[in-house]
Structure 1
Amino acid sequence: MSFRQIASAHHRENSRFHSGLPEGWNRDRFRQLCVCYAQIRGASAQCIRTFEIIIDMISPCAFRDPSQEPFCYARQETLIAGRGVTDRTIHNHERELEKIGLIERRLGANGARCKRKRLGLFLTPALNLFPEMLDVDVQYRSEKKEHDALRGDRSRLYRYVKHSLAVLHSLPCPSEEVEGMMVEFRSWPRSDKLKYLSLDELRAHVQAAHNLWKRTEGHVAKRGEISGGPEAGIGSHIQDQIEEEILSCNADGEATMPAAEASEPICSGSGPHSPAHCLESNHPAGTEPRKAQKLPRVNNRVLYELASTELRMHIDIAGGGEQNSCPSLYAIETGVWSRLSEIGTNVSAWLTAIDRLTIMGAILAGVITDARLSDPKLPPVVNPGGYLRGMVKADERGELNLISSFIGLLARRAREEEDGQRQDHKNRI
């Protein structure tokens, strides 16, 4: 059941009794919940402001004492409060708030309000709606979190599908199937339109985008389809080169592709018309690229082996749910961000790392940040997001050395493997 269905599930007559706010709640916190509920129900910003003025005019103790009914007896002229709205607008706001169940209008003749006669705008319905508003708020936050995650997934898929199709289009004789995939890719909605899709629509689109990515990856990985194909047993996104050879896309939209795809034949007129800092936007022409952080020579298999058990789980989930010792770069990037989010890293810290370090640098920084959580020889990391931001700040000062950190992590994993082998030997004896 969606939050809109929950909100309109029961229509009951307003009760003049309430149980008061539960322990730990006060008027201001209750106001925030009501404002969130009103936004979900589609109330306008002006209407919500009117409600905030109403609730601020009521004594805080009236919301906690079941023997009192919280009500506002201020005249409409007072509620206007110099906002440049008319009496009719305030009247419509009151009607709208009553319709969504936040207030009850008990007025005298011609809309009269009086404290002595207890005539005015009562918030008893909002107090009785408290459990439903909590359910709506929880579900709304959950759906918003999923919506944000799906849009991030689409952004990553856009980059990888674009890269794979550029590779396929650079072949001497692209097949008709490749042309069909390019047409499907161009039909994707622009990134700035995704936030207007419903959750079900966005789920369906991301699933279709994921299926297209799988198809493009399958074509790229075919033996002999690309000159200089991947090494045996290694996936199509091998990162066995320094950063300049790695597909990179940062928050400014900067994209770097290998020379074979430099012409980007599929991108003319097909890129999204999104904000300048969108992950899917193309970098403006004429901007000089920032000097990149030097990265170690590493491929997908090595990254997976260096990952912690928890991080491997997230990579496996992103790659389809099965263990894969050589996952795609998409699965690694998605898994690293999922793990960082799980341990409390803010999305802004991750996007800042991508912007400064490039995708591959941010992935390495994420793997190193996750590994530091369980390093017994170093002080524990209390704030993983702060640690990741610290690495970005160090790069800005020219003090970050990802190669050294990578070598240190390699040595640590080698020691852990030796300790495990010795322990197994002792157990067998």
Structure 2
Amino acid sequence: MNHSPQVALPQGMTRRDVIAVISEVGRDLKLSAAAVYILTKLIGSTSAKDWAEPGAEPVFYGTQETMAERCHLTARQMRSHERTFERCGLLIRDTKANGAREAGTGRGLVFTPLKARFADLLALRDQKRETTNRIKELKSLRSVRLRRMKEGIARLSPEALDDEVIASILARYNAWPRSDRLHSLGIDQLERHIQDATDLCEELEERLENLPESSCEPAISFRSLLQEDNQKNPPVICNANVDERSAGKPAHSDLLRSEPSGSDDCRENKCGVESGVINPKLEALMQPEQLFKLASDDFQTALALRTNRITTEAIIDAAHDMLTPLGINYSAWRAACGAMGRHAAALCILVLDANRDHPQTPVRNPGGFLRGMIRAQKRGNLNLTGSLIGLQRRRG
């Protein structure tokens, strides 16, 4: 009995793909976990050739008793599952009056409806994956906001806690949903929460700037001011050869000092440590506007899609948005933030992304390279400033 001779799976798809898709979207079809399992067992007991050939009808000819025994069910339970699949439009029960099924007459559980719907189920699976990935991105972005908020709170002095605005900010912060409940919010509500969290972070930082003596601890990205009286620091001429190896080459993750670097007895290195003076050129290099110029076109686009202001937080958000395009796992990003802080982690992403088009040794595996930078940071060997200098030289 031919129910639909024109039915065909999408090109290249087989019975194995049908089973995989059903396993992934079965719950979205209102099927229980047990029903999904039974359905995949039934599909697996049909002819693989009938799924691959256009116009062929996949049919399960086995008896209810046999399949029920295989699945450790009663015949009644198996019959109930079959009726459920029929109501869901996944199969047709084409049996004799007494329920018998025969391969010779083509009578049995006909999966032609499922074969006809497979393209729609495939689209459902892709949409589900996209939703899952988006929720994962938003959850990771919430962790960025959470870390940013905690950094701001750490800078509050005890006196600042009596401020009404600060008290209101902290109350709204304490009302944030827990991290393990973010997935249940859904995309729309989660996106609204991320926007509210961003606004709250900016409100706290703005209030910190206006409060006297608001910093108990410096921000992680805080850099000490340049000494105004530079004449007190004697000029030093480096007595070591300049290391040119970063010019036109990828960033190094195994160096400690900023390039160019001399030997351990270099007078320039010793003087820099003793005086505590930050090179004005290095200070300028760390400014968000300069970092933006060093970034790749993709990184700049990611930042521009979020805001038209080039700030440190915008750099961090753009780095977060580049994780998926670069194939970097969110666990690596969280590890980097924990090891070196959000700002330094964002600079690592900027460097890795910019060096993908390196003419000699491009970065092929940004995720693996980032984990290498994390290990170098823990060993105290990460030279992020030197990497940025090398990138600046290559940019001309």
> What's the TM-score once normalised by structure 1's chain length?
0.69
Identical residues among aligned pairs (%): 28
String of CA shifts for 1:18-51, please: whole Å, max 9, x gaps: 4222321111112222333323223222111111
Indicate which of 144, 150, 167 corresponds to 1:162: 150
Contact 2:148 2:201 in 1 (8 A): yes
The one-letter amino acid of 2:371's match is R
Indicate which of 374, 389, 393 corresponds to 1:410: 389
Match of residue 327 from structure 1:
312
Match of residue 345 from structure 1:
328
Contact 1:34 1:102 in 2 (8 A): no
Match of residue 401 from structure 1:
381
Match of residue 290 from structure 1:
none
Relative distance call for 1:216 and 1:137 in structure 2 (3 A) is: same
Describe the SS at the equivalent of 2:53: coil
**Does residue 381 in structure 1 map to residue 366 in structure 2?**
no
Match of residue 115 from structure 1:
103
1:126 deviates by: 0.9
Contact 2:352 2:366 in 1 (8 A): yes
Describe the SS at the equivalent of 1:133: helix
Aligned partners of 2:208, 2:98: CA distance in 1, in Å?
A: 75
**Does residue 35 in structure 1 map to residue 23 in structure 2?**
yes
Describe the SS at the equivalent of 2:141: helix
Aligned partners of 1:327, 1:22: CA distance in 2, in Å?
A: 47
1:138 deviates by: 2.4
Aligned partners of 1:189, 1:294: CA distance in 2, in Å?
A: 40
**Does residue 174 in structure 1 map to residue 162 in structure 2?**
yes
Contact 1:31 1:52 in 2 (8 A): yes
Mapping 1:275-354, distance limit 5 Å: 301=288, 303-304=291-292, 306-318=294-306, 321-324=307-310, 326-328=311-313, 331-354=314-337
Relative distance call for 1:79 and 1:170 in structure 2 (3 A) is: farther
1:373 deviates by: 1.2
Match of residue 193 from structure 1:
181
Aligned partners of 2:178, 2:353: CA distance in 1, in Å?
A: 33
1:343 deviates by: 2.4
Contact 1:157 1:210 in 2 (8 A): yes
Match of residue 105 from structure 1:
93
Aligned partners of 1:64, 1:173: CA distance in 2, in Å?
A: 68
Relative distance call for 1:79 and 1:294 in structure 2 (3 A) is: farther
**Does residue 150 in structure 1 map to residue 138 in structure 2?**
yes
User: Unaligned stretches of 5+ in structure 1?
Assistant: 1-13, 231-235, 242-292, 418-429
> What's the TM-score once normalised by structure 2's chain length?
0.74
**Does residue 226 in structure 1 map to residue 214 in structure 2?**
yes
1:416 deviates by: 3.0
Aligned partners of 1:358, 1:164: CA distance in 2, in Å?
A: 13
Indicate which of 41, 50, 64 corresponds to 1:53: 41
Contact 1:77 1:87 in 2 (8 A): yes
Contact 1:354 1:362 in 2 (8 A): yes
Relative distance call for 1:200 and 1:416 in structure 2 (3 A) is: closer
Aligned partners of 2:295, 2:388: CA distance in 1, in Å?
A: 10
Contact 2:155 2:216 in 1 (8 A): no
1:73 deviates by: 1.5
Match of residue 6 from structure 1:
none
Contact 2:22 2:36 in 1 (8 A): no
Structure 1 stretch displaced more, 408-417 or 186-195:
408-417
Describe the SS at the equivalent of 1:39: helix
Contact 1:18 1:124 in 2 (8 A): no
Greater relative contact order structure (CA < 8 Å, 6+ sep)? 2
Describe the SS at the equivalent of 2:159: coil
Aligned partners of 1:365, 1:115: CA distance in 2, in Å?
A: 63
Describe the SS at the equivalent of 1:105: strand
Match of residue 426 from structure 1:
none
Aligned partners of 2:343, 2:297: CA distance in 1, in Å?
A: 20
The one-letter amino acid of 1:391's match is M
User: Unaligned stretches of 5+ in structure 2?
Assistant: 225-254, 259-277
